[in-house]
Amino acid sequence: MKGSFRLSMQWLHTWAGVCAGWIIFLIFFNGTAAYFKQEITTWMKPEIAAAIDPVKSVEGAVAFLRTKAPDAGAWIIHVPNERNPVAEVSWRPRPKPGVAPVEEDDDDDDRIPPDRRASIDANGHPLAARDTEGGDYFFQFHFALHYLPVLGLILVVLASIALMVALTTGLITHRRIFAEFFTFRPRSGARSWRDAHTTFAVLVLPFHLMITYTGVGILVFFLMPWALFAHYPNPQGFYAELVSHPRAEAPSGHSAPLVPLTLVLRQAEMIWNGGHAETIRISNPGDDTATIQVDRQTHDLVPGAGNSLTFNAISGALVQTSPAPNAAATAATAVFGLHQARFARPELRWLLFLCGLAGTAMVATGLLLWTAKRKRNLLNPEYGSRGFKLVETLNVAVIAGYPASTAAYFWANRLLPLSIPSRANAEVLCAFACWGAVLAWSVRRPKRRAWIEVLGATAFLYLALPFVNAGTASRGTLANLLQGDVLYLAFDGVTLALGVFFAACALWLRCCRAENDLPPAWREQRDSIGLSMSRGSK
């Protein structure tokens, strides 16, 4: 404990933020991008048409599945919507007699082999889109750091707890937090960074508290799994009770025609009072025991637990309606829904995106504040500078370098040959290679020059990205303006805005004099030393 409770909380706030600050920055940055992960995936697959009729796409998906997997045990169709313009289909093999079917997660395409899933256009033809992780890269990086599935998840859990501690202690430390929100002192060294840090923290404080609390709540069973294992020897049993799907009957072997899915979808929309279907599961297709399960689209529901309707696949009659979720399931899906914002309409999604940017800036300014406050300690020869240099290097590599690697990821999507094997993994490797190069560069270069050079390179990568897209794809900025393609225009607008921001930061660092970066105490000390030397010379 320090001299007082407030000083103790200030110490805890500082070191909780510094020790986990770079991981928290990556979590915020990738989580903010993940708000538009589906739109990013669509941009990274320019072969996909701008818009597809959902009804025609579903009919084409059924026609494709009849040809590709007529003897499958189940067909799964993800219905197109305003965010995903194609139908994603997959299928399960029919289990052998006497063998229990293997349960698979229909919502996780990564667990389904590539030879059992496809993207279908309205004519029932597979889309020959380039292999890419798209926006899922940011989503996976957000909670598992991509290449570290287990260790990354542990680090994200610890960083989330550290963020919760930092937010709580920050509220205690800043007693006049709302008065400080309206205070900004430019060209004042550490004070300027502190004012900026406080502003970004208070500006969207409810968002910071909500996103941190729900993030920790999602990982609660990873943090405290004892209650789950005390009652369930296998965690799958718990999740099966939490979100259950009706089990399909064994096929009889008698063939029967499938009812048109348009009739089933029309009935479901009437029952849901205008709600739309998200997933269609057809069990035992082509058999007289076939059923059609239609899950409601959860984009307009905060809890994220929509109704599920089961129809007879021969007559189209409603057979079963899923029971209302219990309190535990409703609470769990509400936490997931708030954190992932699947319910958000475009306007609210953009607002959350801006809140995520504010959170990213809050973490960045906090890390820069730590170095700005400790620069004066370098004048003391007894002060160990290794920790300071480490923090300064990581600040350059993460705050300025990781956005550069993100731009390199988009560049690789456009420039890598379409025929190379494991192309999706190659795009990610290009991003990490760029990030590693920035880290090596920031280690060897003087930090002020490293900031200017890395920020300048990042600005170039973002500003040139629309031109790279126009030169390598048929959907450039001019074509999008003529066609009114909002998605591509918005993507180009965001990349240009980021490029201008990083360019402005680089120019500001280059144009401002080094003396303006010194804290006032340094300038006073320098002026007093200069004055005494001038008097001595006289």
CA atoms within a 13 Å half-sphere pointing along the CA-CB vector of 431: 24
Q: What is the average per-residue pLDDT within 61-76?
A: 88
pLDDT of residue 480: 62
Question: From CA 447, how far away is CA 429, in angstroms rounded?
Answer: 26
Question: From CA 265, how far away is CA 287, in angstroms rounded?
Answer: 20
pLDDT of residue 115: 75
Question: From CA 472, how far away is CA 466, in angstroms rounded?
Answer: 10
pLDDT of residue 531: 40
Residue for token digits 């705050």? 399
pLDDT at 388 over 80: yes
pTM of the model: 0.85
Quote the strand ranges of 211-322, DSSP E. 277-283, 291-296, 308-312, 318-321
Range with the poorest average pLDDT among 186-200, 266-280, 403-417: 186-200
pLDDT of residue 33: 95
pLDDT of residue 111: 61
Q: What is the average per-residue pLDDT within 434-438?
A: 95
* E strand or H helix at 92: strand 87-93
pLDDT at 533 over 60: no
- Torsion over CA: 23, 24, 30, 34 (sign): positive
Most confident of the ranges 87-91, 397-401, 484-488 = 397-401
CA atoms within a 13 Å half-sphere pointing along the CA-CB vector of 268: 29
- The pLDDT > 70 percentage for the chain reads 81
pLDDT of residue 476: 59
For the chain, the C-alpha Rg in angstroms (whole number) is: 27
Average pLDDT over the chain, rounded to an integer: 82
pLDDT at 402 over 90: yes
Cα→Cα distances 510→4, 438, 456, 462, 517, Å? 41, 19, 10, 19, 12
Residue for token digits 């699947």? 342
Sheet of 117-120, strand order: 117-120, 87-93, 72-78, 277-283, 291-296, 308-312, 318-321
pLDDT at 390 over 80: yes
Q: What is the average per-residue pLDDT within 413-441?
A: 93
pLDDT at 358 over 90: yes
Q: pLDDT-based confidence at 535, cuts 50/70/90? A: very low
**pLDDT, tens digit (0-9, with 9 covering 90-100), for 160-214:** 999 999 999 988 887 777 676 666 676 666 778 888 888 899 889 999 999 999 9
- The pLDDT > 90 percentage for the chain reads 31
pLDDT of residue 31: 95
pLDDT of residue 357: 96
444 — phi, psi (to 5°)?
-90, -25
Range with the poorest average pLDDT among 62-76, 152-166, 314-328: 314-328
pLDDT at 7 over 70: yes
